[in-house]
Amino acid sequence: MADELAGRKLDALVVTAPPNIRYLCGFTGSHGLLVVPAAGEPVLYTDPRYEIQAGEEARCTVKVTKKSLIEAAARDMSRRRSWRRIGFEAGSMRYADYAALRHALPSARSLEPQTDLVEKLRLVKSPAEVETIRRSMAIAAEAYRRVVGSLRPPVRETEVAAELDHQMRQLGAEKPAFETIVLFGERAALPHGKPGPRALSMGDLVLVDLGAVLDGYTSDMTRMAVAGKPTERLRRLYQLVLEAQRAALEQLRPGVAASAVDRAARRSLERHGLADCFVHSTGHGVGLEIHEAPRLGKREKVRLKAGMVVTIEPGIYVEGWGGLRVEDTVVVTSNGYDILTPLGKELTVL
């Protein structure tokens, strides 16, 4: 962190994004502000509701205040006469807090908007972080295993989603990593659809996209099932999605551009005239947030490094018919990749 601040010629950074606060000092409360100096110990500001929790969690000085956190931090910062350039997180500081900070600091101090400073540190996961994501993924996969095999008409999408969430918590998850997606039949054409009252009927596709949160770390997977015997068309299209996923996975190793991974999946579908049906990027980073860097998209130049954790999730969507997606959470290793989703990829026939 000291190197990053020095590289950007900052005397301190005001951290306001909760995942970044958690990453840097361990505090998991929802109301905190962290000031990280270029030299010396960071200070966490929080309110009395979090006093005990911050004392237990934070690996830094903690200041509890009944005032606004930004005002308390600004007062302390204005006393640090040597601090000339103070960075703040452009993506998460509220405008009202920025205005209060500007107002409280002498005009000679410059406030410098920063993007992706802490996020860059979070890109490469430590072995301990990878293990936590692996355990988080194992919980989601086990919930899927417990629930999906026994689905029968006329169960509703919302009931299945509720049961998956229940099982994840029973298995030790803090919560679902995002609103669990369960879509039947033609509704599977919505890549980020919400479960609704739709009842399962024979012949329906079942798309399930879920992830857990464990010790703050998320995971993400998508699997497909079908109620009754799949049609030839469905079998064929499913194989093509699997092929696209394999093509993308084969690209994964250190040094490869994120865009090359995306291109591999896209080309694979293109060969079968399905490029237009693939309407999102091939994957995204997974960590303290469910969508974080690096994004595996067409124009992403980031080069992969060992320790990056990403999803590989090509899909095809056809309005009025349905959609197919297969998604794994994967860690890039020194010579390739390791799939963290412990579940086969065959189309489950219900």
Interface contacts to Zn ion, rule CB under 5 A = 209, 220, 311, 327
The torsion angles phi and psi of 11, rounded to 5 degrees, stand at -85, -20
Nearer to Zn ion, 13 or 177 (CB): 177
Nearer to Zn ion, 50 or 278 (CB): 278
Q: How far is the CB of 18 from Zn ion (least distance, A)?
A: 20
Q: How far is the CB of 284 from Zn ion (least distance, A)?
A: 6
Round to whole Å and give the CA distance between 301 and 196: 38
Round to whole Å and give the CA distance between 322 and 93: 40
Q: How far is the CB of 186 from Zn ion (least distance, A)?
A: 20
SS3 call for 237: helix
Q: How far is the CB of 291 from Zn ion (least distance, A)?
A: 7
| Residue 67 DSSP symbol | S
Q: Which residue has the tokens 């999730």?
A: 313
Nearer to Zn ion, 36 or 160 (CB): 160
Q: How far is the CB of 293 from Zn ion (least distance, A)?
A: 14
Contact (Cβ atoms closer than 8 angstroms) between residue 274 and residue 312:
no
CB-based contacts of 335, cutoff 8 Å, min separation 6? 253
Q: How far is the CB of 46 from Zn ion (least distance, A)?
A: 32
Nearer to Zn ion, 204 or 313 (CB): 313
Nearer to Zn ion, 142 or 327 (CB): 327
Nearer to Zn ion, 5 or 326 (CB): 326
Nearer to Zn ion, 165 or 327 (CB): 327
Strands (E), 197-350: 205-210, 212-214, 217-218, 221-226, 283-285, 292-296, 309-312, 315-318, 322-325, 328-333, 336-339, 348-349
Nearer to Zn ion, 199 or 279 (CB): 279
Instruction: State both tokens at 36.
Output: 């990280």
Round to whole Å and give the CA distance between 311 and 30: 27
SS3 call for 226: strand
Q: How far is the CB of 290 from Zn ion (least distance, A)?
A: 7
Q: How far is the CB of 183 from Zn ion (least distance, A)?
A: 12
SS3 call for 255: coil
Rg of the chain on CA atoms, in Å: 23
CB-based contacts of 74, cutoff 8 Å, min separation 6? 100, 101, 104, 105
Nearer to Zn ion, 11 or 209 (CB): 209
Q: How far is the CB of 283 from Zn ion (least distance, A)?
A: 7
Q: How many CA atoms lie within 13 A of 205 on its CB side?
A: 26
Instruction: State both tokens at 104.
Output: 């409280």
Helices (H), the chain: 2-7, 18-25, 51-57, 69-79, 95-104, 117-122, 127-148, 157-170, 232-251, 258-270
